[in-house]
Structure 1
């Protein structure tokens, strides 16, 4: 994994493989952004090269120049920032990600972007780390009919990254860089989990991987697991029904970080519930073949929750956080759940199954019940839940619903502070009638109109009384089927980890 550190030395004097500086857009093309710290000869040379290449300085543009005079580095990478008067922390984050992706195989890289405050420095650090991610596909190769364990799959090692600071090396600045490294590592864990082939990441393999990671990290996370027998005995009819068609039985994993001196008037802290469908065939309501190609990513919510709890413990925060990973494989078979079945959820609510391809809300319902029993201060569930989310908000923006407008806004704001876009969505009361059933307390799916919202209304039924709750639908931003872009790699994105860490860090009861 990449290594982040901070320096106040002149970028030109650093003996690294590459230095990253910024460019801005002007009427005459790209121009070096302020704050690069390079000597005049280097700046003049780079300006000439940018002009000759007709560089524009637009976000996402990168130009690599070798043999720059008066610079110790082998190469200088110039990354576009757009208009000089419109540079934000998000701009810097994306530019750093684009630049580092172009030199991710190098051993040492220095980043000298114009970070004029702590938030900007943190964003540069975050983007630089995120841009280095690659998934080691060779670790998933199959030989002689056997597969390697899922715990062997991880991101490849990255460069040593030196962030050049014009703000000094104060305690808070060092902490910001260290925090970026912790979140970056956690986000890469989530990306690895999402990218792992589904035959290597069954529910039990997911459990094994998280146990191994937790043991190797801070040692402050406790883990308990409910297997299929315990789930049936405990009345978790939602997840049992979803998983009963698979040879790989379901699990609910509880991950807890409980620091001393917890902040707030209550000790319940933050509960996070993640959808963890390790593969979604659609069950008996089977998906079209093309619709299954990315369904290994249907556990991205659980991956984000697991990574967040690990990160919270690594950061040593004072807020208790408990993650509930609702893991199952949704498969068709002679034992699979049928449309028309009625199951009883953990809280005693009976649910009529309408469409076995709407399985995520069933496993989350049980997980939210379990989380509510511990009486946390707040609950957030995160899930690749509905195609309707992508219809409404596209592939980069998550939808956030909730039973408390102020808490819903806190979730949206937490994402905005970390470069993870989301949008507050309503839970209209008039849509609730679509979940009425003549044979059970609830139908588990309404009609197609407002599908993202009716899924949220369904989940709301399982939230404990008086507990603020938010539901984050990440069907779009959790997985990128296109090419890499800024901090976003192809495949699993790790969306949600930074949002949830921010929310936990800033939680007060």
Structure 2
């Protein structure tokens, strides 16, 4: 992973492949943002004019490279757009800094060192620049598959990814200051775990199945001193996990349920995180149409986010207890697959008529929510690429938030905003509940088509323990970016919801759950 350092050196004196400066949109053209005064001085105070001549405007995401002026140690100046400057007396927003740093880090792919002279006024600003740069520097190397779906070496025909920027130096960061050091440590841990989730999401399904995913969790648990329990297909059958087994029974790769636990001696709150982990979703017998299968390796993004978030909490040593529950299965059509019209007996004892085998995520989550509820956590949050309806409602960059408690839904929304992730609160209309009634079972796994994302949330609510606080994040839109990279977000797996979950854990540790 890209290394991170803090430095109080002048951007004119630092030795790097490039020095990154911020540019904002001004009424009369681009303006150089604070932090780059020494660079501007090397250009005789005319850096903005030079950039204007080169066509730069300061728009968000814009990148302009130019040879360094005499007096600068770095040979290249990379100017990145910050968008509109903040109002007088206000600071640059954390998300604007994250995105600018991410764009710059991507532009410096293949370089050894980039010195970021962006507007850093305090430890929070340094954290934003560091986080954005580390996330923006991400690259994924295509992995091949060994026998039985085990991870193999890099595929010979895999695309060669450019090496990420090797080192990020945040100028204006004070390496001996406790607040700045803590900010850097948090950014490093958080970025590493977001990138872990991205790697898992990007891994082809022939190289990642439920068993190999569970093995990866075991390895990380051993490394970070976490408790781990893995239920295989025999244990799931003995325990009566009809939802997970029903989804996974059509595949040669049997399902798994993983419990990952982090505890802290000073913790006063417990948070349970539940992730949908469909390592490949064909739709089952209700097969997806052509054009909808190619990216279905990403249907385990919720489980990847939960896994990464628990490890991040452990790395940060937060005083909160967190359990991560990963419901892992592969949804395939075969002679043994669940059929539309079948009735499954869930772990809770409730029966579910399966009207559509492509509505499988709610089935594996239902069993797992019931199991997580048995431990009586203070709150449960599930994360899933659950419905196409949520993408239609909110687009490709925003995830939906539902909850059985309005205050908790607000807390989740606030945590997402604080983390820099786009989210929006959604309702659970009571009148939609009757649409999942079944004449032959306690309920059906499908209901009204209109508001389908809300119907899915209502279904999940049925399996949350009585009296427990629960939230649901439908990350179907932002979990996998099929377009080009933007800001600090790469093409492919994004690691959506990891930062929100970690921020929620931080709030819980501070007594704000």
Establish whether residue 249 from structure 1 lines up as the match of residue 251 from structure 2. Answer: no
Match of 2:220 in 1: 213
> Does the residue aligned with 1:482 lie in a helix, a strand or coil?
coil
Report the Cα distance in structure 1 between the residues aligned to 2:190 and 2:76, rounded to whole angstroms.
Answer: 28
240, 243, 246: which one aligns with 1:238: 243
SS of residue paired to 1:208: helix
Tell me the residue number matched to 1:328. 329
Tell me which residue corresponds to 1:129: 134
Aligned residue for 1:256, secondary structure, equals: strand
**Structure 1 unmatched runs, 5+:** none
CA–CA distance in structure 1, aligned partners of residues 345 and 59 of structure 2: 55
Using the TM superposition, name which of 336-345 and 160-169 deviates more. Answer: 160-169
Q: TM-score, normalised by structure 1?
A: 0.95
For residues 78-157 of structure 1, what are the structure 2 equivalents within 5 Å? 78-85=79-86, 87-137=92-142, 140-141=143-144, 149=151
Contact 2:145-2:153 within 8 A present in 1 as well: no
Task: Give the distance between the partners of 1:428 and 1:29, measured in 2 at CA.
Answer: 49
Pairing 1:194-205 to 2, within 5 Å after superposition: 194-205=201-212
Partner of 2:366 in structure 1?
365
Match of 2:5 in 1: 5
- 1:110–1:261: structure 2 CA closer, same or farther, 3 Å change rule? same
Specify whether residues 148 and 353 from structure 1 end up closer, same or farther in structure 2 by C-alpha distance, changes over 3 A only. closer
Residue in structure 2 matched with residue 72 of structure 1 by the alignment: 73
How far did residue 97 of structure 1 move?
0.5
How far 1:167 sits from its partner (Å)?
7.0
Q: Secondary structure at the match of 1:506?
A: helix
Residues 43/208 of structure 1: CA separation in 2 closer, same or farther (3 Å cut): farther
Counterpart Cα distance in 1 of 2:455 and 2:149: 40
Report Cα offsets for 1:339-363 as digits up to 9, x if no partner: 1111111111111101000000000
Query: What is the rounded CA distance, in whole Å, between the counterparts of 1:245 and 1:429 in structure 2?
Result: 34
1:181 and 2:188 aligned: yes
Q: Secondary structure at the match of 1:472?
A: strand
Contact 2:356/2:446 (<8 A) preserved: yes
Alpha-carbon separation, structure 1, partners of 2:354 and 2:178 = 55
C-alpha distance in structure 1 between counterparts of 2:339 and 2:244, whole Å: 14
SS at match of 2:30: strand
SS of the residue corresponding to residue 339 of structure 2 reads: coil
**Who is 2:63 aligned against?**
62
Residue 21 of structure 1: aligned partner: 21
Aligned counterparts, 1:101-500, within 5 A: 101-137=106-142, 140-141=143-144, 149=151, 158-165=165-172, 169-216=176-223, 219-264=224-269, 269-500=270-501
C-alpha root-mean-square deviation of aligned residues, in Å? 1.9
TM-superposed CA distance for 1:52, in Å, is: 1.7
Structure 1 Cα separation of the partners of residues 467 and 68 of structure 2: 64
Contact 1:279–1:330, Cα closer than 8 Å, also in 2: yes
Q: Using the alignment, how far apart are the partners of 1:301 and 1:147 within structure 2? A: 20
Query: Does the C-alpha gap of structure 1 residues 146 and 230 become closer, same or farther in structure 2, counting only changes over 3 Å?
Result: closer
Distance 1:243 1:166, change over 3 A: closer
Q: CA deviation digits over 1:158-187, x for unaligned, max 9?
A: 421111126785211210111011000000
In structure 2, the CA distance between the partners of 1:152 and 1:365, relative to structure 1 (3 Å rule), is: farther
Please identify, of 370-379 and 118-127, the stretch whose mean Cα deviation from structure 2 is larger.
Answer: 118-127
Deviations along 1:131-169, whole A, 9 cap, x unmatched?
0001012xx2469x9976169799965421111126785
**Deviations 1:26-47 (CA, angstroms, capped at 9, x unpaired):** 1332221122242512363533
Paired residue secondary structure (2:38): coil
Change in 2 beyond 3 A, CA 1:43/1:412? farther
1:204-254 Cα shifts (integer Å, max 9, x gaps): 1111222223333xx221211000010111011001000000000000011
